[in-house]
């Protein structure tokens, strides 16, 4: 056996346990692999070691009681027929097949699943008589963050733990760079806005002390005419302030809107462009609804950042500091007294956001669940009615509706109690100012507070409390903003798994032969769907693929189009690994007709030319004619200009399929892939589609998956898959002669289609589908 250098697959067994094992005939020092698990077979945490010796597998663990042995299980290699891992719930098992049963060798929690998947691979090599290679690379795991070791959701995912809030904030600032000039201008305008807001109180003070009540301020009363002139100028000054404030407000608002919407637009486009670059695997892992939220809503948060710079927290902070200085400048003793409730305001608002704000989340959750229930019920209304379940659905809807009502009520009760109470605190500050300041005015002390000062003070006090309340929401806004930004950067930082290599080669264009070489692939960890697939398709050959559901047929096609990357082995097109080919050329060479054709909202013409915008009208007509679609299109009042709805609404299944075939035909791919292209249509449509397919597959390399085996009868070869493996391959006649799985499937289908009841049911089902559409 080669020298083991891996840490994970060559763990150190505690000396005491090694001694005990040695006493029982297990020499850990000569084992070629030792792996540690965290669970015992009773489902409890306990360190258990798998010791792989030359001719047997042994599990050892520290004895729990005197008299117990260290060796838990021993299975000689000669008795083992198969080795595998089996997924449980929250963990898994390493199993060996002995005679006709699987024996659990050890259990592991999901934290160790990666290790034991590797262990199983090594053991399979060992069982096959090969020499397993164990090296330091076995310790590497592309599904873990190289920096902190945290498991990632998939290879190439971004580690959320390593992506800190500060970093997010810095990156948002970098997005602002192109708008730095405008941002600085906006901040200057904020300063002007705050400065203008301070003016009216000073004018009121002057108005009171000079014009309206000069005696109380120790000033000489002015004659009526002079007082009127003063009055006119002061009112004019107030009006000017109002006009200037409005002007600055308009300018700030427009500038903020320009910058905010532009940043949002940039970010939205950036996220969408990145999403279009992501592989199909990415969409398997993420909910499309969540991704839509990221593009549509989270990017809107960028605008909030700009708004905060102009009218939000920046303005509030400047106002708070400036007004605070003015208040203390006017009368520091009074300022100190009236600020007594300020900490209480701050504290109560903090409590509000911590305790009450989360209730808004519940409102959001209840609302989204209500929408979900409503969507389900209305989408399935035919089933609801068919089973007479309207009262039951009414009750289900009612339960969700009650949750929305109650969650709203809980929030609104809290808010309607909180706001008046905080209002009282504000009023207490004002009352203190009135009482203490009023007394000082009445005392007429020389150099003391006069009526004008008091009125100005009260005006400033109102300006001071307003931002104080709002500033307490800073944490909340910041959290929401950083979370949304993080979600955006998470998308932008996720590298597409399917990337084109540097110096990728053009398609060889030799005739499009395809070779699968020992291909292993699984969508989920430790669950391979394809288990060592090898076959060759000659250029122009028509290959049929049959097998039970879940046997890996569609996966073959997904790999062929490089929607996913193979885990092991390789796929060659004209002897070139598809990973070395230019991605767009590869996709250009492979045309796919799916079981559920996806048509976009738009005209029939736009859908047919989807893959080739440069197609001429004559080419479109020819493609539609060849796909047996032309006649039904012409029957529509608007012909090719007929606008079809979401996912092809307004057309029958067969019509949709024929448009998708026309689309594929116009695309003119070297390799054509048909994935159950006729399984969802009635017999008449099927016949039309089959005629079309016959035309477009002639002389073209074709892979066709079909459940109706009769449709594959004319294939050059048929591949029969079972359990992720190719179990039979040959022509229809050869496979029938084999009397294996294909023969059995054909026999079952022949018996079923001969059964009149089945035939009638199948026709009715297809007819019903057509009617529904």
Partner 1 sequence: MDNEQPKTSVTDEDRTKIRYLTPEMCKIHVGTHGALHVTVLNDRIYGGVYAAYAFPVEHAAEYISLMRSTGSGGPDEEVGLIRHLEVFPPEQVALVRQALKRRYFIHTILRIHDIRWDHGLVAMDVETDKGRVKFLMRWQQDRAVDYGRDGKVLLDVDENRYLIPDVEELPASERNAFTRIVFW
In the chain, what's the furthest Cα-to-Cα distance? 123
Contacts for 455 with CB less than 8 Å, ≥ 6 apart: 201, 204, 205, 208
In whole angstroms, how close is the CB of 275 to partner 1 at the nearest point? 18
Residue 625 or 743: the one with the smaller Cβ distance to partner 1 is: 743
| Three-state DSSP state, 638 | coil
Q: Which two tokens stand for residue 156?
A: 């190439």
Q: CB-based burial of residue 124 (10 Å sphere; 0-12 exposed, 13-18 middle, 19+ buried)?
A: middle
DSSP 298: G
In whole angstroms, how close is the CB of 293 to partner 1 at the nearest point? 11
Residue 74 or 642: the one with the smaller Cβ distance to partner 1 is: 74
In whole angstroms, how close is the CB of 43 to partner 1 at the nearest point? 4
Residue 333 or 479: the one with the smaller Cβ distance to partner 1 is: 479
Residue 214 or 724: the one with the smaller Cβ distance to partner 1 is: 724
Q: How many CB atoms lie within 10 A of CB 138?
A: 22
Residue 105 or 263: the one with the smaller Cβ distance to partner 1 is: 105
Q: How far apart are CA 670 and CA 666, in angstroms?
A: 12
Q: How far apart are CA 74 and CA 72, in angstroms?
A: 7
Residue 527 or 584: the one with the smaller Cβ distance to partner 1 is: 527
In whole angstroms, how close is the CB of 44 to partner 1 at the nearest point? 7
In whole angstroms, how close is the CB of 546 to partner 1 at the nearest point? 17
Can you spell out the DSSP letters for 656-672?
HHHHHHHHHHHH--SEE
Residue 109 or 749: the one with the smaller Cβ distance to partner 1 is: 109
Residue 15 or 42: the one with the smaller Cβ distance to partner 1 is: 42
> Sign of the CA dihedral 282, 286, 288, 293?
negative
Task: State the helix-helix crossing angle for 313-330 and 180-206, rounded to 10 degrees.
Answer: 30
Q: Which two tokens stand for residue 242?
A: 């109002």
Residue 355 or 445: the one with the smaller Cβ distance to partner 1 is: 355
Which element (helix H / strand E) includes 246? Answer: helix 224-277
Residue 81 or 752: the one with the smaller Cβ distance to partner 1 is: 81
Per the rule left: phi > 0, alpha: psi between -120 and 50, beta: everything else, 616 is beta
In whole angstroms, how close is the CB of 155 to partner 1 at the nearest point? 15
Q: Which two tokens stand for residue 523?
A: 């969508």
In whole angstroms, how close is the CB of 113 to partner 1 at the nearest point? 8
CB under 8 Å, gap of 24 or more: what pairs does 707-711 form? 707/546, 707/676, 707/679, 708/678, 708/679, 708/749, 709/546, 709/742, 709/745, 709/746, 709/749, 710/749, 711/678
Residue 91 or 648: the one with the smaller Cβ distance to partner 1 is: 91
In whole angstroms, how close is the CB of 86 to partner 1 at the nearest point? 7
In whole angstroms, how close is the CB of 290 to partner 1 at the nearest point? 8
Distances (CA, A) of 518 to 82, 536, 556: 19, 11, 12
In whole angstroms, how close is the CB of 55 to partner 1 at the nearest point? 17
DSSP 12: P
> CA-CA-CA-CA torsion for 465, 469, 475, 478, nearest 10 degrees?
-80
Residue 647 or 739: the one with the smaller Cβ distance to partner 1 is: 739
Distances (CA, A) of 83 to 102, 118, 122, 270, 455: 9, 12, 10, 47, 88
In whole angstroms, how close is the CB of 203 to partner 1 at the nearest point? 48
Q: Which residues pair with 675 in a beta bridge?
A: 705
DSSP 593: E
Determine contact, residues 459/446, Cβ cutoff 8 Å. Answer: no
In whole angstroms, how close is the CB of 110 to partner 1 at the nearest point? 4
Residue 235 or 761: the one with the smaller Cβ distance to partner 1 is: 761
In whole angstroms, how close is the CB of 385 to partner 1 at the nearest point? 27
Q: How far apart are CA 426 and CA 205, in angstroms?
A: 22
Q: Which residues pair with 731 in a beta bridge?
A: none
Q: What φ, ψ does residue 472 adopt, rounded to 5°?
A: -65, -15
In whole angstroms, how close is the CB of 676 to partner 1 at the nearest point? 21
Footprint on this chain of partner 1 (rule: CB under 8 A):
39, 41-45, 73, 75, 81-82, 86, 88-91, 93, 95, 97-104, 107, 109-111, 113, 150-151, 153, 160-161, 163-165, 168, 287, 290, 358, 361-362, 364-365, 482-483, 486-487, 490, 531, 722-725, 739, 743, 747
DSSP 74: E
E strands present in 296-424: none
Rg (CA), the chain: 38
Determine contact, residues 36/106, Cβ cutoff 8 Å. Answer: no
In whole angstroms, how close is the CB of 202 to partner 1 at the nearest point? 46
Parallel, antiparallel, or unpaired: how do β-strands 717-722 and 725-730 relate? antiparallel
Residue 285 or 445: the one with the smaller Cβ distance to partner 1 is: 285
Helices (H), 494-531: none
Residue 298 or 682: the one with the smaller Cβ distance to partner 1 is: 298
């Amino acid at each position: 056996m080669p020298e083991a250098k891996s840490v994970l697959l060559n763990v150190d067994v505690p000396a005491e346990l090694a001694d005990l094992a040695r006493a029982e005939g297990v020499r850990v020092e000569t084992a070629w692999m030792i792996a540690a698990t965290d669970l015992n077979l009773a489902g409890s945490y306990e360190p258990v070691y798998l010791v792989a010796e030359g001719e047997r597998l042994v599990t050892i663990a520290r004895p729990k009681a005197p008299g117990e042995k260290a060796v838990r299980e021993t299975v000689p290699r000669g008795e083992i027929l198969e080795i595998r891992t089996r997924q449980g719930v929250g963990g898994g098992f390493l199993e060996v097949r002995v005679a006709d049963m699987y024996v659990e060798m050890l259990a592991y929690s999901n934290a160790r699943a990666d290790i034991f998947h590797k262990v199983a691979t090594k053991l399979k090599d060992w069982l096959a008589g090969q020499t397993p290679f164990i090296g330091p690379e076995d310790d590497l795991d592309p599904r873990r963050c190289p920096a902190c070791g945290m498991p990632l959701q998939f290879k190439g995912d971004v580690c959320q733990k390593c992506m800190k809030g500060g970093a997010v904030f810095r990156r948002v600032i970098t997005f602002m760079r192109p708008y730095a000039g405008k941002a600085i201008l906006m901040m200057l305008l904020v300063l002007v806005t705050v400065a203008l807001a301070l003016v009216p109180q000073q004018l009121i003070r002057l108005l009171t002390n000079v014009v309206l009540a000069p005696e109380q301020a120790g000033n000489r009363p002015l004659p009526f005419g002079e007082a009127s002139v003063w009055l006119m100028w002061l009112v004019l000054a107030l009006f000017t302030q109002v006009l200037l404030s409005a002007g600055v407000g308009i300018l700030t608002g427009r500038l903020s809107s320009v910058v905010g919407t532009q940043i949002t637009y940039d970010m939205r486009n950036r996220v969408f462009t990145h999403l279009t670059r992501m592989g199909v695997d990415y969409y398997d892992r993420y909910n499309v609804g969540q991704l839509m939220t990221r593009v549509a809503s989270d990017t809107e948060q960028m605008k909030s950042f700009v708004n905060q710079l102009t009218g939000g927290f920046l303005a509030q902070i400047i106002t708070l500091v400036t007004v605070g200085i003015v208040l203390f400048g006017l009368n520091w003793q009074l300022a100190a007294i009236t600020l007594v409730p300020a900490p209480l305001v701050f504290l109560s608002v903090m409590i509000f956001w911590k305790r009450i704000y989360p209730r808004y989340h519940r409102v959001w959750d209840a609302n989204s669940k209500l929408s979900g229930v409503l969507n389900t019920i209305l989408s399935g209304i035919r089933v609801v009615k068919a089973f007479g379940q309207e009262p039951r659905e009414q009750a289900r809807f009612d339960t969700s509706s009650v949750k929305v009502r109650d969650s709203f009520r809980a929030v609104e009760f809290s808010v309607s109690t909180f706001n008046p109470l905080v209002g009282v605190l504000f009023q207490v500050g004002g009352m203190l100012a009135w009482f203490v300041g009023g007394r000082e005015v009445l005392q007429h002390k020389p150099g003391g507070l006069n009526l004008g000062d008091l009125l100005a003070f009260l005006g400033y006090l109102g300006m001071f409390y307003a931002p104080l309340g709002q500033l307490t929401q800073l944490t909340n806004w910041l959290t929401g903003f950083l979370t949304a930004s993080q979600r955006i950067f998470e998308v932008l930082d996720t590298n597409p798994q399917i990337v084109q290599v540097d110096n990728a080669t053009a398609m060889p264009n030799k005739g499009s032969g395809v070779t699968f070489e020992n291909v292993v692939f699984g969508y989920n960890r430790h669950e391979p769907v394809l288990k060592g697939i090898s076959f060759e398709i000659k250029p122009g050959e028509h290959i049929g693929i049959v097998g039970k559901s879940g046997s890996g047929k569609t996966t073959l096609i997904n790999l062929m189009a490089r929607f996913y990357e193979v885990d092991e082995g390789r796929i060659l097109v004209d002897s070139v690994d598809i990973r070395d080919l230019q991605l767009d050329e590869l996709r250009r060479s492979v045309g796919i007709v799916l079981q559920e054709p996806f048509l976009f909202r738009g005209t029939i013409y736009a859908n047919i030319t989807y893959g080739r915008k440069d197609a001429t009208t004559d080419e479109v007509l020819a493609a539609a004619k060849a796909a047996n679609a032309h006649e039904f299109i012409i029957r529509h009042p608007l012909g090719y200009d007929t606008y079809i709805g979401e996912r092809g609404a307004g057309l029958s299944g067969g019509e949709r399929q024929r448009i998708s075939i026309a689309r594929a035909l116009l695309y003119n791919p070297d390799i054509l892939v048909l994935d159950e292209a006729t399984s969802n249509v009635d017999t008449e449509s099927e016949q039309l589609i089959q005629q079309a397919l016959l035309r477009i597959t002639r002389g073209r390399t074709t892979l066709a998956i079909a459940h109706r085996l009769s449709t594959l009868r004319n294939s050059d070869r048929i591949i029969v898959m079972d359990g992720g493996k190719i179990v039979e391959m040959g022509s229809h006649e050869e496979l029938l002669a084999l009397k294996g799985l294909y023969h059995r499937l054909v026999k079952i289908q022949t018996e079923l289609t001969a059964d009149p009841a089945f035939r009638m049911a199948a026709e009715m089902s297809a007819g019903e589908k057509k009617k529904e559409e």
